[in-house]
Structure 1
Amino acid sequence: MSVDFKPELVALDIDGTLLDPDTDTISEAVKAAVRRAVDSGAQLVVATGRTFLGTLPVLDELALTSGFALCSNGAVLVDVSRREPVSVASFDATPVLRLLQEQLPGCIFAAEDVGVGNLVSAPFDPEKLHGPQRLTPVEELTAEPVPRLIAEWTEHDPAELAETLADTRLPNCAITVDTYEPWVTVVPEGLSKGAALEKLRTELGITPDRTFAAGDGTNDFEMLSWAARGVAMGQAPLDLQATADATIGTVAEDGLAVELDRLFS
């Protein structure tokens, strides 16, 4: 990496990267660093597993008025200036839901209804699943194509969930097992933060060697590999740190602010 590397496209995860999950806040240092990056002319993209509704408060807190957000692991592209989705990728999640019911007995499901909330088979913790929840019979959750399906295996831990699904092949979708919660996120086949960012990079006319990304979770592997410089947060799993070009400070240490200030000082 050149010593004068200054990225033109900056992709940032939310939870565990911009926002400290332990305090549910974005520090003033991170906010200021993001503002400096934008003021320097970088195209900022917030790339998250959150839904569109769950991402909006973060865009507001960062005072972003331009750029894009990739929500639901790349399934929903949002124009930040308009605060509106401009494209939504969806798929028939019924076969996946049935397989997950077999593999994860007792799990509960949530299907995203973009801009409205989630259809849920049972109530989710509102701090984890953003937006209104509408109780729906499980057989009706995927009656229409959806951009994102969540399965939460309550009373189990993420390691057990990952082991249970290790040899499972789910049709026409991409899945991510959460690092910290017993959650499976399912989006249309071929979609990831990295794939969505590459499409956006091409459309914006930015060269591959001017891309930067930061993340901390299992849904960030493709994004960090995609970026010319991809950094893992200090609290990220060791396998993600091994994939990244560098490991920076933890979210509690304002690791992202330090890295952005170095790039855009």
Structure 2
Amino acid sequence: MPNGAWQPKLVALDIDGTLLKWVQGAGKTHEIVPDAVRDAVHRAMAAGTHIVLASGRAPHSMTAIAEQLGLRDPLTPDGRLWIVASNGSVLVRHPPMEIVHEETFDAAPAVHAVLERHPDALVAIEERGVGYRVSAPFPDGELGGETIVTQLEDLVSAPVSRVIIRDPKATAEDFLTMAADLGLHGTDYVVGWTAWLDLSPVGVSKASGLRYVADELGIGAEDVLAIGDGRNDIEMLTWAGRGVAMGQAVQEVHDAADHVTGPVDEDGAAVELDRWFA
């Protein structure tokens, strides 16, 4: 656990529910970063710390947030930012957006196993730079970019970096029980705030993506501060020298963290950043 003299050399920030506040009951976030959070992020950058966005979002959706924040990395020779996208499956430099590393897997067995339990569930595969290919339309606002309706077999006919499965008629608890029962061999999985399941290659998470980035920058995990609110943040909160959960996160995320800050509606990320970069 860092002491009072410690200052992180890399700050990893989740986006939805950490930088961006939730639209109550809508399953999406406001796409505006609050001023207090933006200012705190810029104070950290000005202090000479690498800022890395780490999210389940697709790269094109994350670069939009990076632009809104005005993020650049003055510590790299070209000033380009590192981004951990798609829950660690895709690593990006920006701007301009460049895919540096990508992990893929055969999602078909896991997808079919889930659909046997939830036959009406929706499936989405990232269509890079555009949006998503989907088995049927998702609820409004839940996916960024364009959505292209595609036959299920075509969606999982080739290796992919990430699959989203969503059942608006089910609950997060339904999906947690189902995933535990199925085991979902050959994949790692994360259940979201709703009946939302992210499938990824085995061993791939935000933590594995951040480890890759930290190695490239010559930074150890002990010098990383990570802030997040979702189950897909647990690995990175555990891996980082200081892992901080947002106040509104579920208990298992709190349990994985070294500290719990205020909720997103109270700019909890800014409160944590100001602890080290006042």
The TM-score, its normalising length taken from structure 2, stands at 0.91
* Structure 1 counterpart of 2:200: 187
Amino acid at match of 1:40: A
Shift of residue 126, structure 1, vs aligned partner: 4.2
Match of 1:166, SS state, is helix
Note if 1:6 corresponds to 2:14.
Answer: no
Q: Which moved more, 1:167-176 or 1:25-34?
A: 167-176
Shift of residue 103, structure 1, vs aligned partner: 2.2
Amino acid at match of 1:59: A
Note if 1:218 corresponds to 2:231.
Answer: yes
Cα deviation 1:109-139 (Å, max 9, x = unaligned): 0011222321110011341111111111111
Shift of residue 183, structure 1, vs aligned partner: 0.5
Distance 1:65 1:9 in 2: 13
Asked if structure 1 preserves the Cα contact closer than 8 Å seen for 2:82 and 2:213, the reply is no
Distance 1:171 1:262 in 2: 41
* Structure 1 counterpart of 2:128: 114
Match of 1:77, SS state, is strand
Partner residue of 1:237 out of 250, 268, 276: 250
Note if 1:254 corresponds to 2:267.
Answer: yes
The alignment-based identity, stated in percent, is 40
* Structure 1 counterpart of 2:117: 103
Match of 2:194, SS state, is coil
- The number of residues matched between the two structures is 264
Shift of residue 205, structure 1, vs aligned partner: 0.7
Cα deviation 1:156-210 (Å, max 9, x = unaligned): 11112212222212132111011x2211001111100011111221221112321
Match of 1:249, SS state, is coil
Amino acid at match of 1:189: V
Note if 1:33 corresponds to 2:46.
Answer: no
* Structure 1 counterpart of 2:151: 137
Distance 1:84 1:127 in 2: 26
> Within 5 A, what are the aligned runs for 1:21-170?
21-22=22-23, 24=30, 25-66=32-73, 67-170=81-184
Distance 1:81 1:3 in 2: 34
Match of 2:182, SS state, is coil
Task: Return 5+ residue gaps in structure 1 as ranges.
Answer: none
Note if 1:175 corresponds to 2:194.
Answer: no
The TM-score, its normalising length taken from structure 1, stands at 0.96
Distance 2:271 2:165 in 1: 35
Match of 2:87, SS state, is helix
Aligned-residue Cα RMSD (Å) equals 1.3
Is the alpha carbon distance of 1:20 and 1:42 closer, same or farther for their aligned partners in structure 2, counting shifts above 3 Å?
Answer: same
Asked if structure 2 preserves the Cα contact closer than 8 Å seen for 1:103 and 1:165, the reply is no
Shift of residue 68, structure 1, vs aligned partner: 0.9
Cα deviation 1:23-68 (Å, max 9, x = unaligned): 6031000001001111111111100001112212211111112321
Match of 1:118, SS state, is strand
Asked if structure 2 preserves the Cα contact closer than 8 Å seen for 1:106 and 1:154, the reply is no
Distance 2:98 2:116 in 1: 36
